[in-house]
Chain A
Amino acid sequence: DIQMTQSPSSLPASVGDRVTIACRASQSIGTYLNWYQQRPGKAPKLLIYAASNLQSEVPSRFSGSGSGTDFALTINSLQPEDFATYYCQQSYSTPRTFGLGTDVEIK
């Protein structure tokens, strides 16, 4: 299985901040990397697919980068609704695997 390691696990931040979440794959996965946002009590929501492609209707303050084993999700000008948990996921092979998540919390 491909292991996905996210850092940090918790990220205190304030409205208006620029935050970056890192994700590392245990082997090269090209750009087979997706990012999801999960708000409390809700299902995950796709933000970014194929490492850097913004899903339809997702605000442009979200961006993704990287390839191979190292990836990043950046949120520019954090908004109140962005305080949530973020997961990376590889879709290079099965079983699909997710990172353990990054909680973006209010500082």
Chain B
Amino acid sequence: QVQLQESGPGLVKPSETLSLTCTVSGGSITSGSYFWSWIRQPAGKGLEWIGRMYTSGTTNYNPSLKSRVTISLDMSKNQFSLKLSSVTAADTAMYYCARERGGLVAVPFIDFWGQGTLVAVSS
């Protein structure tokens, strides 16, 4: 059973960079047709897709965040990471890492999620 676990600071100052890591266990991030994704959810609100990365290096980012987001993979550690620069209070949210499954002929879906990590942006 694949498990994902987010880690990183719970408090980030405005204008600084938010950095989170997702550790994957129970399977290799290099195997299969998977996109490794980040999604966030402000308290009491809905889900916002941040972006994803494939093991080939292909990335897709939400245009609303694209100028500030970087997702990367560390295959040696079976981890992937999120960096969000120039944060403001509007970036305060629960951040989830997730695995999106789907190949060229299948309908993609997110089948595994981390438990989430709460990040607050405040001075």
Residues on A lying within 8 angstroms of B by beta carbon are 1, 31-32, 34, 36, 42-46, 49-51, 55, 87, 89, 91, 94-101
Contact B115 A95 (CB under 8 A): no
Please give the number of chain B residues whose Cβ is less than 8 angstroms from any Cβ of chain A in the complex: 24
Interface centre among B49, B96, B109 (most CB of A within 10 A): B109
Name the residue of chain B whose CB is nearest to the CB of A6. B46
Contact B49 A98 (CB under 8 A): yes
Could you tell me the distance in whole angstroms from the C-beta of A61 to the nearest C-beta in chain B?
20
Chain B residues in 8 Å Cβ range of A42: 115
Chain A residues in 8 Å Cβ range of B51: 95
Contact A44 B47 (CB under 8 A): yes
- Given A43-B114, A98-B47, A101-B46, check contact A91 B63 (CB 8 Å): no
Contact of A49 among B47, B62, B96, B109 (CB under 8 A): B109
Name the residue of chain B whose CB is nearest to the CB of A29. B107
Could you tell me the distance in whole angstroms from the C-beta of A57 to the nearest C-beta in chain B?
11
Contact A91 B107 (CB under 8 A): yes
Chain B residues in 8 Å Cβ range of A98: 46-49
Question: What 0/1 readout, one digit per residue, does chain B (41-63) give for beta carbons within 8 Å of chain A?
Answer: 00000111101100000001111
Chain A residues in 8 Å Cβ range of B113: 43-45
Contact B46 A99 (CB under 8 A): yes
